[in-house]
């Protein structure tokens, strides 16, 4: 995401000069809300709360701007949850929010669970919890009926005072466990409702410190449940969540080696001299490597960019007993004495991802600055001076923030290794057809349902190249389109080397007169160039015909990134309907649309 | 060092209420500044506490109804530029 020069500098200067105080934040927010910086992504946020939330505004706006967002908050009147959420003509809905935050405190929803807890019987506790669950579920459900906005719902912080004091753990039903049960209900609620996520308020308060959280004067004077510092923390976290909702996480972490994955310089100290082990200071780096592995588990690809000798490096990854990371954990390595910006570009190309999907962790401030100036679209993680802080800086950077982890994420590195094997295979085959046939591809195509919805929405959100219309439908939009009678298909491709996962999406919507418009058609770049799109298109055509459709209307919306799809319709026998070649038509007639014969197609029933 | 405290107070007023720095005087109050409402009054208290690293009690907070009064109350805490604090 390249930002224009002067204005982004002004914003950067403003943000750099801010002290974490109310005065500077309020002043900065005023400038941002006056629209002085125009390269930010606008997002309208409605906030419903059982308390006075308005004080969050300046912190939310400024922290949003620091993450390239122009947050436009609309605070609903105090304690009007249902009135604002369920009434389509309310001020909340008039503000057309993109995101709705629902912030309720347990103190307000079920005061007895917080105040007189010890006096409650087990049955009364259950009843109170059930009442909270029912009220919240009805609120979210009702909200979802009126708006397609993404919903972010607060869970509950521990009470400031445990009613039983030290004896809480000894109670048959402890107050702590009750709050946890309430939070489990919130988590379950969001699973049932598309486009809904939990704002882990409980965790945020715990990490900050419950004792420091409240300013009792504000609580009693204005029903404001956080002091000045906590207001900043909530604003920052809301901005962080918002960013995670609107932008995909970085796909690949590029790591430096010396003084990053181990202490010392490998070329100087040698295999036995670098600090990496169970004793201090090696344990710091070993733990950092474990943190890196956690990211890999979450679905982040790992790469190396280091000024070193390849043979030396391989020795560490293959032979050092305390090196937790191994060669197989990385999908790309650029180990040479050239500059890091070139390494980053090479890595991006090798993995078929944009450079704006890269995040870099390098202990050298000089290298970080170099990358920042050469490639402003790369996320350069802020690295503290002391290595003890590396793991936290990495995991807390925000570069990999994701509000959901899909089954694809869990095996992503494995998938990329298989991709590479296929690349090698291409060199040895005689002809393209022989190569494609030798892959023994099987395309499994099914109708999008609850289990496949997240991955489908993910593909719609992040696929740029083989995407004919680049429509960024949310999970909720998709649900609506399906319920309205549209056809939404996913395609999974397996071949000799393994499972590529779900890599294709096709959506067609009836125009009413026998014509079905192709709202979306895309392929993940890892399967482009193999003809699998023919399998998806052919299956879509058959299903449309089975529903009584006479023709497929193809749409092409050109973008700077999708020129690879320019001739897609032409290549599949569509005829253009306009001069600009944006609308195309395929008569479904008597014959079936041909599917490449080297792909076996299975329908998922 | 002269006038540092006065300047810092004026700076906080300017930031919290959005009033240009050179338009602020000791007379500034909710009557002369439209954005000085009850919500921003709370912001003002929090901002002064952060700026001067002090904790104000409720009576001090409710009495700070003009810049002059702010200077007087802070002076009573020993936060002043020296010379007489300006009562109002």
At A1, the pLDDT band (50, 70, 90 cuts) reads very low
Mean pLDDT of chain A: 91
Identify the helix (H) or strand (E) that includes residue A184.
Answer: helix A175-192
Nearest C-alpha in B relative to A220: B58
Nearest C-alpha in B relative to A53: B39
B70 CA: distance to closest CA in chain A (Å):
16
Partners of residue A55 in chain B, C-beta under 8 Å: 39, 42-43
* Nearest partner of A175 among A199, A158, A187, judged by Cα: A158
State how beta strands A99-103 and A551-555 pair.
Answer: unpaired
3-state secondary structure of A303: strand
- pTM here is 0.73
* Residue that is written with structure tokens 């998806």 in the block: A536
- Tens of pLDDT along B14-34? 999 999 999 999 999 999 999
* Nearest partner of A108 among A90, A138, A130, A81, judged by Cα: A81
The mean per-residue pLDDT over the stretch A250-260 comes to 96
User: Angle, nearest 10°, between helix axes A228-246 and A57-66?
Assistant: 40
- Tens of pLDDT along A9-18? 678 788 888 8
Nearest C-alpha in A relative to B10: A23
3-state secondary structure of A500: strand
At A6, the pLDDT band (50, 70, 90 cuts) reads low
> Is the predicted pLDDT of residue A552 greater than 50, yes or no?
yes
Decide if A222 touches B, using CB distance below 8 A. yes
End-to-end CA distance of chain B: 24
Count of CB contacts below 8 A, A vs B? Answer: 41
Sheet with A599-603, strands from edge to edge, namely A575-576, A583-587, A551-555, A515-523, A498-510, A487-495, A441-447, A599-603
Partners of residue A224 in chain B, C-beta under 8 Å: 42
d(CA A12, CA A422): 44
Partners of residue B37 in chain A, C-beta under 8 Å: none
d(CA A462, CA A544): 26
> Is the predicted pLDDT of residue A510 greater than 50, yes or no?
yes
Q: Do A544 and A552 meet the contact criterion of CB atoms below 8 Å apart?
A: yes
């Amino acid at each position: 995401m390249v930002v224009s020069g002067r204005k982004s500098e002004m914003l950067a200067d403003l943000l750099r000069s801010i002290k974490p105080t109310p005065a500077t934040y309020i002043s900065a927010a005023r400038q941002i809300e006056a629209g002085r910086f125009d390269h930010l992504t606008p997002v309208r946020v409605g906030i419903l709360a059982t308390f006075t939330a308005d004080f969050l505004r300046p912190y939310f706006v400024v922290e949003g701007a620091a993450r390239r967002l122009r947050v436009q908050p609309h605070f609903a009147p105090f304690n009007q949850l249902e009135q604002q959420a369920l009434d389509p003509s309310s001020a909340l809905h008039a503000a057309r929010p993109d995101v709705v935050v629902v912030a309720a405190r347990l103190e307000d929803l079920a005061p007895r669970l917080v105040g007189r807890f010890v006096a409650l019987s087990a049955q009364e506790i259950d009843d109170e919890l059930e009442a909270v669950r029912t009220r919240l579920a009805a609120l979210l459900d009702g909200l979802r009926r009126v708006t397609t906005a993404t919903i972010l719902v607060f869970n509950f912080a521990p009470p400031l005072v445990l009613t039983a004091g030290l004896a809480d753990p000894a109670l048959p039903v402890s107050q702590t466990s009750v709050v946890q049960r309430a939070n489990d209900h919130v988590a379950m609620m969001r699973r049932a409702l598309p486009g809904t996520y939990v704002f882990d308020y409980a965790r945020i308060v715990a990490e900050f410190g419950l004792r420091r959280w409240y300013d009792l004067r504000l609580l009693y004077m204005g029903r404001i449940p956080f002091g000045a510092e906590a207001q900043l923390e909530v604003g920052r976290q809301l901005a962080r969540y918002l960013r995670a909702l609107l932008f995909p996480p970085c796909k690949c972490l590029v790591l430096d080696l010396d003084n990053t994955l181990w202490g010392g310089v490998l070329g100087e100290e040698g295999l036995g001299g670098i600090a990496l082990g169970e004793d201090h200071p090696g344990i710091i780096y070993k733990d950092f490597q474990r943190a890196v592995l956690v990211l890999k588990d979450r679905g982040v690809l790992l790469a190396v960019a280091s000024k070193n000798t390849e043979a030396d490096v391989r020795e560490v990854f293959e032979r050092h007993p305390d090196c937790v990371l191994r060669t197989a954990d990385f999908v790309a390595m650029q180990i040479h004495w050239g500059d890091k910006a070139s390494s980053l570009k090479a890595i991006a190309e090798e993995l078929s991802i944009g450079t704006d999907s890269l995040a870099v962790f390098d202990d050298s401030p000089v290298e970080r600055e170099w990358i920042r100036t050469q490639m402003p679209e790369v996320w350069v993680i802020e690295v503290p001076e002391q290595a003890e802080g590396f793991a936290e800086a990495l995991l807390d950077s925000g570069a990999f923030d994701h509000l959901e982890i899909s089954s694809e994420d869990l095996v992503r590195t494995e998938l990329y290794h298989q991709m590479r094997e296929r690349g090698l295979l291409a060199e040895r085959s005689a002809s393209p057809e022989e190569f494609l046939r030798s892959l023994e591809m099987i395309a499994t195509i099914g109708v999008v349902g609850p289990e496949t919805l997240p991955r489908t929405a993910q593909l719609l959100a992040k696929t740029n190249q083989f995407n004919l219309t680049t429509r960024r439908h949310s999970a909720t939009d998709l649900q609506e389109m399906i319920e309205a009678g549209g056809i939404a298909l996913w395609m999974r491709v397996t071949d000799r080397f393994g499972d590529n996962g779900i890599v294709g999406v096709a959506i067609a919507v009836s125009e009413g007169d026998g014509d079905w418009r192709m709202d979306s058609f895309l392929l993940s770049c890892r399967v482009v160039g193999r003809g699998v799109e023919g399998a998806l298109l052919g299956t879509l055509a058959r299903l449309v015909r089975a529903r009584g459709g006479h023709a497929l209307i193809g749409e092409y919306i050109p973008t700077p990134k999708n020129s690879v799809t320019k001739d897609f319709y032409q290549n599949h026998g569509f005829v253009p309907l306009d001069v600009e070649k944006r609308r195309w038509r395929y008569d479904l007639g008597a014959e079936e649309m041909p599917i490449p014969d080297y792909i076996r197609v299975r329908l998922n029933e | 060092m002269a006038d540092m405290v006065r300047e810092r107070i004026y700076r906080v007023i300017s930031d919290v209420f959005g009033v240009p720095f050179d338009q602020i005087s000791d007379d500034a109050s909710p009557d002369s500044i439209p954005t000085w409402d009850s919500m921003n009054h709370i912001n003002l208290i929090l901002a002064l506490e952060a700026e001067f690293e002090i904790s104000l009690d409720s009576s001090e907070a409710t009495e700070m109804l003009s810049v002059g009064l702010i200077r007087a109350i802070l002076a009573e805490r020993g936060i002043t530029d020296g010379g007489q604090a300006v009562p109002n």
